[in-house]
Amino acid sequence: MIISNFIVKQKNKLLTISKDKITEIFCIADDFCKELEKEFAKKVLPDSDNAPKRHRKRMMSDAEVITILICFHFNSYRNFKHYYLYCVRTVWKDLFPKTFSYNRFIEVMPRCFVAMTMFLKLAVFGKCTGISFVDSTCIPVIHNKRFYSMKVFKDIATKGKSTTGWYIGFKLHLLCNEKGEIINFNLTKANVDDRNENVMNALIDKVFGKLYADKGYISQTLFGRLWDKGVHIVTGLRSNMKQKLMPLYDKIMLRKRSVIESVNDMLKNVAQIVHTRHRSLHNFIMNILAAMGAYCFFSTKPHVNFDYEIPPSDGQLVIWQDFNIKS
């Protein structure tokens, strides 16, 4: 009786994801993983010896591991061990009939890093539409007072400063379109500048059109480098800068940078991408990838709602409805 009541309470904790949604995520991940394995099989080098080798399949596939990691960021669980033992292995036993023990699952997680990264990049992330927003957000991994006793991220995490003050951890650079879909990302140390050449080159891969950013991205060198690559970065002006004319369209779109801010907010407050309970660097990275994957499957995303009208006289684009942010 006590166990049955406990299971009922666990079912009530699953707030925002249904079994249909879990099945949808698994089907997309499974189809992708099967195609990925076929491509990897074409690139495998032949063995030097002809000795027979044992190719034993795991009890759980990569698609199942990816699905479990992504679904963790949908519900109200904040402890992955509690989620895996009392949700995946109990409530979702019909969806995942063959599961690893918790310790074995933690060992297998890092092995799905390549599959998870390529799944996000090729199957889940959005495409560039010519209107993009860029921003960075802090990822603290430990309290400032515990910096000198840090073990997991020793010599890896660094000190950085954000609008809320100093923190110890990393910095997540995000690029999204006007639909609120993540296009690309880059994870760096906390003391890396947003305008860093390597960071921007990785972010703007396959990006074109206009890129809207805050005043932290003001740099004449960065503007020229992106312009040569077909990207026009648009930023606001500081109070001590010389004023210049700016198209009305760019002024309006700069005010809609709240899209990328809302994406960062959902990753932190809904997907819970930030916490300080990591016990290994590999699982820290997998947690970030899974959180971004969960965001891509959210039913509602912040986006810019706008419409255009083309007058028959001169063919110029005229904005006739005010821009709004919907989430």
Q: What is the DSSP string of 232-244?
A: EEE----TTSPP-
Q: Is 309's pLDDT higher than 70?
A: no
**Which pLDDT band, with edges at 50, 70 and 90, does 62 fall under?**
very high
Residue 120: DSSP 8-state: I
Question: What is residue 174's predicted lDDT score, i.e. its pLDDT?
Answer: 94
How many helical (H) and strand (E) elements, i.e. helices and strands, does the chain have?
11, 10
Q: Are residues 254 and 162 in the same domain?
A: yes
Q: Is 70's pLDDT higher than 80?
A: yes
Q: Is the pTM of this model over 0.75?
A: yes
Share of the chain above pLDDT 70, in %: 86
**In the chain, what is the straight-line distance between the N-terminal and C-terminal CA atoms, in Å?**
42
Question: What is residue 240's predicted lDDT score, i.e. its pLDDT?
Answer: 79
Question: What is residue 16's predicted lDDT score, i.e. its pLDDT?
Answer: 61
Q: Is 318's pLDDT higher than 60?
A: no
Q: Are residues 34 and 170 in the same domain?
A: no
Q: Is 1's pLDDT higher than 70?
A: no
Question: What is residue 317's predicted lDDT score, i.e. its pLDDT?
Answer: 46
Q: Are residues 7 and 24 in the same domain?
A: yes
Q: What is the CATH number of the domain that holds 158?
A: 3.30.420
User: CA torsion angle for 185, 191, 197, 202 (degrees, to 10)?
Assistant: -20
Domain count, the chain: 2
Q: Are residues 147 and 98 in the same domain?
A: no
Is the Cα torsion angle 225, 230, 235, 238 positive or negative in sign?
A: positive
pLDDT tens-digit series, residues 252-275: 888 888 899 999 999 999 888 988
**Which pLDDT band, with edges at 50, 70 and 90, does 243 fall under?**
confident
Q: Could you list the residue range(s) of the whole structural domain that residue 9 is in?
A: 2-42+58-121
CB neighbour burial string for 20-58, b if at least 16 within 10 angstroms, e if fewer: eebeebbebbbebbeebeeeeeeeeeeeeeeeeeeeeee
Q: Are residues 133 and 245 in the same domain?
A: yes
- DSSP string of 188-211, one letter each residue: EETTS-TT-HHHHHHHTTT--EEE
